[in-house]
């Protein structure tokens, strides 16, 4: 029986649109379906700049329909379940679609309710998140007059792992301009052991931390927010260490409660919410059923082919890949998926294309300064050879700021989503 589509794509974000565009460019005879309910497409990498008052939020949003390639069927529904043995996807609207190959890239869920008190805290005037509403972050910064400004992130995987520290760096700059910085304890609290996992970039970022006078708290895993008392609760997360130590209090008025719980009062709190794969992925047979990657798409980290269903591929934020979840990573993942699907359609084999784990994090460290950290699996530096010859990419640079503010948005809308990059 003929399938509804040669290739069916779940998700119309960066990964879905890029995959559809590249497949359509390479073979216009393919019957491609794209399941995506949203009418708008968002350029989220600019949210850090929006929150710092240097980018307009309206410039981060465009119509989804302007980027779905002509010749690709846009199915404006919500994917809800999979029957991989029957090559079938079902939607919440009661429809079902069959496929020859399936590409799963629905993005990531902001799992706000996974942290007690966070939803209530976000309703207050003192707690914000660039992941949810960067314009609110800007309003909170404008109203902030001093005290503890706490920036933190969860222990779950998150999209753009460098974004929480970028928020801290840009807020430092904003508060210096507003005159509130000298009355502020600016804290960056991370569950990790270091500021950045790629050793070539960590020294420059530590230099930024020291020059800005940011209080760095490592092994701080946020577990609960008390919006009434305006307190953030952290679990001491240092492996094999039950001793909870308060280092460099500097007037923060931290206290220890119970076993390994640190309570830090805040006057402003910026938090990246816990994140997970979407529920319909977690509850599906396509996800890991156990282990540290439970709930995330079970794909081979180099071919991006599903480990149990050969005609299914996964990429983007929902995939269980040990690298940073960024648009830059997707840009390198899409050609691998496209090449493998076209090769399988041709002769049932995989192509020779492999994904190396490449990702990058444009670490904005201040107005006019950005460090472009490029790396691959195992936190190995993977900087572009040409950029590396022209610039010292281990340092924050004005030229990289121009790339971040002007170059990358243009490339995203005009090249990446058009399937030409």
Residues catalogued as catalytic: 160, 361
**Which among 374, 340, 333, 339 has a CA at the least distance from the CA of 356?**
333
Say how many C-beta atoms besides its own lie within 10 A of residue 100's C-beta.
18
Concatenating the DSSP letter of every residue in 85-146 gives GGTEEEETTS-EEEEEEEEE----EE-GGGSTTHHHHHTSSSEE-TTT-HHHHHHHHHH--S
User: CB of 105 within 8 A of CB of 316?
Assistant: yes
Distance of alpha carbon 190 from the chain centroid? 16
What value, to the nearest 5°, has the Cα angle with vertex 256 and ends 254 and 260? 125
Q: How many CB atoms lie within 10 A of CB 252?
A: 19
Which residues in 286-390 belong to E strands, given as ranges? 312-314, 359-366, 369-376, 380-381
Q: End-to-end alpha-carbon separation of the chain, Å?
A: 36
Residue 407 sits at the vertex; the CA angle it makes with 404 and 409, to the nearest 5 degrees, is 80
Q: Note the helical H segments in 8-52.
A: 14-26, 47-51
Closest listed residue to residue 323, CA positions, set 285, 287, 361: 361
CA-derived radius of gyration, the chain: 22
């Amino acid at each position: 029986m003929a399938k509804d589509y040669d290739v069916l794509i779940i998700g119309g974000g960066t990964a879905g649109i890029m995959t559809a565009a590249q497949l359509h460019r390479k073979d216009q005879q393919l019957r491609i379906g794209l399941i995506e309910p949203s009418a708008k497409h968002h350029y989220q990498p600019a949210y850090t700049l929006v929150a710092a008052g240097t980018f307009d939020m309206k410039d981060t949003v465009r119509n989804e329909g302007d980027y779905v390639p002509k010749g690709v069927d846009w199915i404006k529904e919500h994917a809800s379940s999979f029957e991989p043995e029957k090559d079938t996807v079902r939607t919440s609207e009661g429809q079902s679609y069959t496929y020859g190959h399936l590409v799963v890239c629905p993005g990531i869920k902001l799992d706000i309710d996974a942290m007690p008190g966070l939803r209530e805290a976000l309703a207050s005037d003192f707690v914000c998140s660039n992941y949810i509403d960067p314009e609110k972050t800007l309003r909170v910064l404008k109203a902030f007059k001093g005290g503890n400004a706490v920036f933190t992130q969860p222990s779950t995987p998150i999209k753009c792992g460098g974004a929480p520290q970028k928020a801290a760096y840009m807020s430092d700059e904003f508060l210096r301009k507003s005159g509130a910085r000298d009355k502020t304890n600016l804290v960056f609290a991370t569950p990790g052991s270091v500021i950045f996992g790629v050793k070539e970039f960590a020294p420059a970022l530590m230099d930024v931390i020291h020059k800005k006078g940011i209080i760095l708290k490592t092994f701080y895993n946020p577990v609960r927010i008390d919006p009434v008392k305006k307190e953030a609760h952290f679990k001491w997360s240092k492996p094999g260490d039950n001793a909870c130590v308060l280092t460099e209090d500097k007037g923060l008025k931290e206290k220890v409660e119970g076993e390994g719980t640190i309570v830090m009062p805040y006057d402003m709190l910026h938090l990246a919410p816990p994140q997970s794969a979407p529920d319909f992925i977690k509850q599906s047979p396509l996800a890991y059923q156990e282990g540290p990657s439970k709930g995330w798409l079970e794909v081979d980290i180099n071919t991006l082919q599903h480990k149990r269903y050969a005609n299914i591929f996964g990429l983007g934020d929902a995939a269980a890949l040990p690298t940073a979840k960024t648009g830059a990573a997707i840009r390198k993942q899409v050609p691998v998926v496209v090449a493998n699907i076209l090769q399988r359609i041709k002769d049932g084999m995989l192509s020779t294309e492999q994904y190396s784990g490449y990702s990058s994090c444009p670490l904005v460290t201040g107005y006019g300064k950005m460090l472009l950290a490029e790396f691959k699996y195992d936190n190995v530096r993977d900087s572009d050879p040409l950029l590396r010859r022209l610039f010292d990419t281990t340092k924050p640079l004005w030229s990289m700021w121009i790339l971040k503010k002007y170059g990358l948005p243009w490339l995203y809308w005009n090249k990446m989503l058009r399937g030409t990059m």
